[in-house]
Amino acid sequence: MNPGIFREYDIRGIAEKDITADEVMLLGRGIGTFLKAQGCTTLALGRDCRATSDLYAEKLTQGLLSTGCDVTDIGVCPTPLLYYAIKHLEHDGGVMVTASHNPKEYNGFKICRGLDSVHGKEIQEILGIINKGDFAKGDGKRSEQDVIPSYLEFVTGNIRLSRPLRVGVDAGNGTAGVVAVPILKQIGCEVHDIYCDMDGAFPNHEADPTVAKNMQNLIAMVREKELDIGIGYDGDGDRLGVVDEKGNIVFGDKLIIIFAREILSRKPGATFISEVKCSKVMYDDIEKHGGRAIMWRTGHSLIKDKMKTENAELAGEMSGHMFFADR
């Protein structure tokens, strides 16, 4: 198996080139062995809408089941729903089949032990298990669960708008539209959406809102329809890009400032985690408003770990990954 796909935060490469379907089943055996050794035997499994995701999810499931892990298939959904499913279903961990914001030819796997992302040396440990071929054995059970309805109920039950908003949404033909649009409508927003039909070929633009050219159609819609805000998502819906009412991109560090000020109004002295790509203005603003700002290494797994150890209220990156302690 190509060792180059075992990266810092996940396992990812070009589908059917860097990793084949048969190798995905082998990967499932490696992941299952790794997680089972740590007491994780009930796993949630989600996938994005890429062309190979259905096949890869099936092969991964076969590998996981062979190690004795029980697998609950939560279907095609955004990555945040995997985290929700692990907690909601009281599972021990999970795997998401996705290449996130990467181009259509890629695919990959994000692994969770509990709600913690498996990363770094642990990713390499899985590769070592595969290379040794010393896999756990068992006969796991397979089930299916649609968690989207309960997720929608959970999110909408926690949001109250002070006034109705006119919102533009660009899901980039990824999986975010299936939850973002109904959530916004249910909380009273007027929603104007583009590219919210799932298509793993990403025919309109790459599903990466951190690249300005991918936001141009959303910007045009916000300006043309005079909307209050525009929100763009990546392929698996775990990062976002924001456009203000004038069509200007609001970058990740500015979003953190907005969120931090609101949190500090309720929780004075709160701690916030971000990374080296964010501006000094952001760190200074948090300190100015009575917060504690910590600069940490880039990477969602690393940021989330630091958030936990520092008991932070919010962690965020320029890429649009945002993590709220109370959500």
Q: At a CB cut-off of 8 Å and minimum separation 6, what does 58 contact?
A: none
Q: What is the pLDDT of residue 184?
A: 98
User: 206 falls in which pLDDT band (50, 70, 90)?
Assistant: very high
User: 188 falls in which pLDDT band (50, 70, 90)?
Assistant: very high
CA 133 from centre of chain? 30
Query: Per-residue pLDDT averaged across 173-196, rounded?
Result: 98
Query: Per-residue pLDDT averaged across 219-227, rounded?
Result: 98
What DSSP string runs through 189-203?
A: -EEEEES-S--TT--
Cβ count near 88 (within 10 Å): 16
Q: What is the pLDDT of residue 304?
A: 87
Query: Per-residue pLDDT averaged across 204-211, rounded?
Result: 96
Helix (H, G, I), strand (E, B) or coil at 70: strand
User: 302 falls in which pLDDT band (50, 70, 90)?
Assistant: confident
- For 4-47, what is each residue's pLDDT tens digit? 999 988 999 999 999 999 999 999 999 999 999 999 999 999 99
Predicted model pTM? 0.93
Q: What is the pLDDT of residue 326?
A: 82
Query: Per-residue pLDDT averaged across 281-302, rounded?
Result: 93
Per-residue DSSP letter, 15: B
Q: What is the set of domains in the chain, with CATH numbers?
A: 3-147 (3.40.120.10), 159-250 (3.40.120.10), 266-324 (3.40.120.10)
Angstrom distance (rounded) from CA 55 to CA 10: 19
Q: What is the pLDDT of residue 91?
A: 99
Q: What is the pLDDT of residue 299?
A: 83
Helix (H, G, I), strand (E, B) or coil at 228: coil
- For 49-78, what is each residue's pLDDT tens digit? 999 999 999 999 999 999 999 999 999 999
The amino acid occupying position 178 is V
Average pLDDT, rounded, for the chain: 96
Contact 239, 280 (CB under 8 A): no
Catalytic site residues? 100
